[in-house]
Amino acid sequence: MPAKPKTAKVTAVNDLKVNLVIPLIAAIIGIAAGYMYIFLRASLGFLQNIFLQNQIAFTPIGYENHILGYWFLVLPPIAFVFIAAFIKVFDADSFGAALPGILQSEANNKQYSFTWRGIFVRGFAAVFTIASGGSVGKEGPLAYMAASLSQKITNIIRLDKDQKRLLLICGIAAGISASLNTPLAAIVLALELFLKKLRIESFFPILISSFFACLVARATYGQSLEFLIPTFHLQSSLEIVFYIGLGLIAGLYSSAIKQIYKGIYQGFAKTNIHYLWKALFGGLIISAFGFFFPQSLGLGVNTLVESLRGQTLATVVLALFFAKPILMAVSLHCGGSGGLIWPLLFIGALMGATYGIGLQHYFPTIVLNYGPYALVGMAAFFAATSRASFSAAVLLIELTLDYSLILPLILACIIAEQIAILLKSPSIFLLPIKSKDKN
């Protein structure tokens, strides 16, 4: 019998990879990301309870009711010196935000190189940074860890460049899905940031990894309902004008925040002192802000949810509006490590809440609650800052499980991103910032 053509065999092997091997690897990555999230969350809860309450527990807590008194001023400086030294010794590439380095490598059509040490150092450093009061997120390090695992698996199996890149994106989507409990938004964000051209065969593995990551997280902690907020409705057609204004402000404000973020990085990078002194100075800044406004530290989930419900005091909102962007940049550039997505969402909510408080003062019969403006501002600011408006809208809808403000939400996101485009303000993930400390 005549032998089958070699091209037919190659096609059969490629079909097997696409239809079986890649989805299977995507599922493994998703499950692994789910368990990584469980470990990170438990570790964060353990450290927070030890530091703030002097007790053994594994549930993450806030900083508002710590029992340290004035000793709290000592915690961030000492902790950040330890974090910076730990990163410097074990994996110097783990300084700063987790995802920008990967995204910048992809934008330049280069392969980002992960190390096994980086997986553990990123996770430990991020948990320690948040537990010490750093204003960073855990979704970035988790996405980094899952993407690292993806690359290690694909280096063993013979896959082409595009298939390896697809599975790398699967890891990023899985990490975001497990951390934020938003499987659909994780898919959209991964596609919008990393995969500009959507193909059906690309969508399916990302869907699988995101699904399994969220499934494992929900099987352990249940479906998070902490972001359930009252249903808001437009009180007047005039509010559409207010939301257009919010989109404009979000676009302008995002450009300013990127400059602050970049400026603080350059300030730390160009200061010719030992990196541990930088970490100490950054920790002192964090402790000073945190002593007066402990709500500004860490993840601040309770404060964020209260702002979305319109329950946070106006003075606290205004204080955090100025403090949070500085704390985010200092936490990432003085020697800490973590994610950008969560603090950006927080800053957007504070911006929207501040805008809503002003409207409530001048138009009390129309604007009854600043909560909906915090919600829309959260999405609009993230849309302009990340240049991913569709992801921002989906993320907010999935977080809050509320569709009542979908029209002003989409409108504000589109306007905010277009303002960023007109100002030629790039995604914050593409700013020319190197995570590795060169000093």
432 confidence band (pLDDT: 50, 70, 90): low
What pTM was estimated for this model as a whole?
0.91
In the numeric block, which tokens belong to residue 118?
A: 């980086």
Which pLDDT does position 61 carry in this prediction? 87
The per-residue pLDDT for range 379-421, each reduced to its tens digit, is 999 999 999 999 999 998 888 887 888 999 999 999 999 999 9
What is the rounded (10 degree) CA torsion for 427, 183, 137, 102? -50
Which pLDDT does position 438 carry in this prediction? 41
Residue 54 predicted with pLDDT over 70: yes
Which pLDDT does position 1 carry in this prediction? 45
Number of Cβ within 10 Å of residue 67's Cβ equals 10
Q: Are 415 and 248 in contact (CB under 8 A)?
A: yes
Element holding 181 (H helix, E strand): none
The per-residue pLDDT for range 94-111, each reduced to its tens digit, is 888 888 888 888 777 777
Which pLDDT does position 157 carry in this prediction? 83
Which is more confident, 62 or 129? 129
Residue 5 predicted with pLDDT over 60: no
In the numeric block, which tokens belong to residue 237?
A: 């057609």
17 confidence band (pLDDT: 50, 70, 90): low
Number of Cβ within 10 Å of residue 248's Cβ equals 16
Q: Are 86 and 118 in contact (CB under 8 A)?
A: no
The identity of residue 199, as a single letter, is R
Measured distance CA(152)–CA(167) in Å, rounded: 11
The per-residue pLDDT for range 322-347, each reduced to its tens digit, is 999 999 999 999 999 999 999 999 99
Mean pLDDT of 229-235: 74
Mean pLDDT of 51-60: 89
Residue 11 predicted with pLDDT over 70: no
Residue 128 predicted with pLDDT over 70: yes
Which is more confident, 431 or 83? 83
**pLDDT, the chain, mean:** 87
List the domain boundaries for the chain.
6-221, 239-430
Which pLDDT does position 435 carry in this prediction? 46
CA distance readout (Å), 246 to 23, 152, 241, 349, 371 = 41, 44, 9, 11, 13
The per-residue pLDDT for range 242-278, each reduced to its tens digit, is 999 999 999 999 999 999 999 999 999 888 899 999 9
297 confidence band (pLDDT: 50, 70, 90): very high
Which pLDDT does position 436 carry in this prediction? 44
In the numeric block, which tokens belong to residue 63?
A: 């900083």
Which is more confident, 310 or 65? 310
Which is more confident, 160 or 285? 285
Judge whether 6-221 and 239-430 match in fold.
Answer: yes
112 confidence band (pLDDT: 50, 70, 90): confident
Residue 55 predicted with pLDDT over 80: yes
* Stretch among 160-164, 177-181, 286-290 having the lowest mean pLDDT: 160-164
At the fourth CATH level, the homologous superfamily of domain 6-221 is Clc chloride channel (1.10.3080.10)
Q: Which fold has domain 239-430?
A: Clc chloride channel (1.10.3080)
45 confidence band (pLDDT: 50, 70, 90): very high
173 confidence band (pLDDT: 50, 70, 90): very high
SS3 at position 87: helix
Residue 209 predicted with pLDDT over 50: yes
437 confidence band (pLDDT: 50, 70, 90): very low
